[in-house]
């Protein structure tokens, strides 16, 4: 069920919004009244997200950004402010999740950390710099259940997502008195384009469903609702929180 979280007149920035969780969150922000800056390296996907929002009566624009590039992140935040006149909510969602034969390869490690961890830091840094001068705001970072528990097959991803949770707690402490709330959302396995190969493999999908007490993969819209709630006035006393949305997978 889509809920309006009362964000009329607010401006939201969503990275990794060309599909999956990011697109669902961008649409949810728009349904709640926010103007949405859609960002991604996937220009076609980002443009499609903007079209979907506008077709539903919302306001959106697109800016391309590779979050591993500090200059592009700075330009993204500046474009958001220039286009919509401010920045109230930010969802730092851009990330990659790769399974390869050699997870300890230096190039794999460095790329994963550059996007999944350093990219989040760069976004937080630029978003907070604006919010500190303009009355505060709310930031949510995409972590993962692998930011709370171990994963024997993906050292870089697991380390990065643990770091994302740490960044959220750091930001919450650093900026609490300045009116900036910082939280993280920790999805379980969610049915998105990124996980499509798993869904297409019936044996693998059955295994994943069996690992989740609710017996199914999550939907991008279910993560989006948590994100927009964390950015809304309804969560005004919530900061430094790693919200798990995983169908009970980490309850064992």
Specify the pTM. 0.95
Q: How many angstroms separate the CA atoms of 218 and 9, rounded?
A: 30
Q: pLDDT (tens digit, 0 to 9) for every residue of the chain, 252 residues total?
A: 678 999 999 999 999 999 999 999 999 999 999 999 999 999 999 999 999 999 999 999 999 999 999 999 999 999 999 999 999 999 999 999 877 666 788 998 999 999 999 999 999 999 999 999 999 999 999 999 999 998 887 899 999 999 999 999 999 999 999 999 999 999 998 988 777 776 777 888 888 888 899 999 999 999 999 999 999 999 999 999 999 999 999 997
CA trace torsion 23, 29, 35, 41 (10° rounding): -20
Residue of 183, 181, 70 whose CA lies nearest to 132: 181
**Alpha-carbon distance values, 160 to 156, 188, 200 (Å):** 6, 16, 27
Sign of the C-alpha dihedral computed for residues 112, 113, 115 and 116 taken in this order: positive
pLDDT in tens, 179-207: 999 999 999 989 887 777 767 778 888 88
φ, ψ of residue 58 in degrees (nearest 5): -95, 175
Q: What is the pLDDT of residue 73?
A: 98
pLDDT in tens, 63-74: 999 999 999 999
Task: Compute the mean pLDDT over every residue in the chain, rounded to the nearest whole number.
Answer: 94
- Give residue limits of the domains in the chain: 11-245
Q: How many angstroms separate the CA atoms of 88 and 166, rounded?
A: 22
203's CB contacts (< 8 A; 6+ apart) are none
Fold of the domain built from segment(s) 11-245: Rossmann fold (3.40.50)
Active site residue 104: no
Q: What is the pLDDT of residue 100?
A: 63
Check if the beta carbon of residue 47 is closer than 8 Å to that of residue 62.
yes
pLDDT in tens, 35-60: 999 999 999 999 999 999 999 999 99
Q: What is the pLDDT of residue 226?
A: 98
φ, ψ of residue 7 in degrees (nearest 5): -110, 25
Q: What is the pLDDT of residue 101?
A: 60
Q: Which residues pair with 140 in a beta bridge?
A: 91, 183
């Amino acid at each position: 069920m889509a809920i309006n979280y009362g964000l009329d007149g607010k401006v939201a920035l969503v990275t990794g919004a060309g599909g999956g969780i990011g697109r669902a969150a961008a649409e949810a922000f728009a349904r709640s009244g926010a103007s949405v800056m859609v960002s991604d390296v996937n220009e076609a996907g980002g443009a499609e997200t903007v079209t979907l929002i506008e077709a539903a009566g919302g306001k959106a624009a697109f800016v391309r950004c590779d979050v591993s590039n500090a200059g592009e992140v700075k330009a993204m935040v500046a474009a958001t402010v220039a286009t919509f006149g401010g920045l109230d909510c930010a969802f730092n969602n851009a990330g990659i999740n790769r399974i390869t034969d050699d997870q300890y390869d230096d190039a794999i490690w460095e790329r994963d950390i550059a996007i999944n961890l350093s990219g989040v830091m760069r976004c937080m840094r630029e978003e907070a710099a604006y919010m500190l001068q303009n009355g505060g705001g709310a930031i949510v970072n995409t972590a993962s259940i692998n930011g709370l528990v171990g994963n024997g097959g993906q050292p870089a991803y697991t380390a990065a997502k643990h770091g994302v949770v740490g960044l959220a707690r750091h930001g919450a402490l650093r900026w609490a008195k300045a009116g900036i709330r910082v939280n993280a959302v920790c999805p379980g396995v969610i049915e998105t384009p990124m996980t499509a190969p798993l869904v297409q493999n019936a044996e693998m999908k059955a295994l994943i469903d069996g690992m989740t007490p609710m017996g199914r993969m999550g939907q991008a819209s279910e993560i989006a609702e948590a994100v927009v709630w964390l950015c809304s006035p309804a969560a005004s006393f919530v900061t430094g929180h790693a919200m798990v949305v995983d169908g009970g997978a980490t309850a064992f």
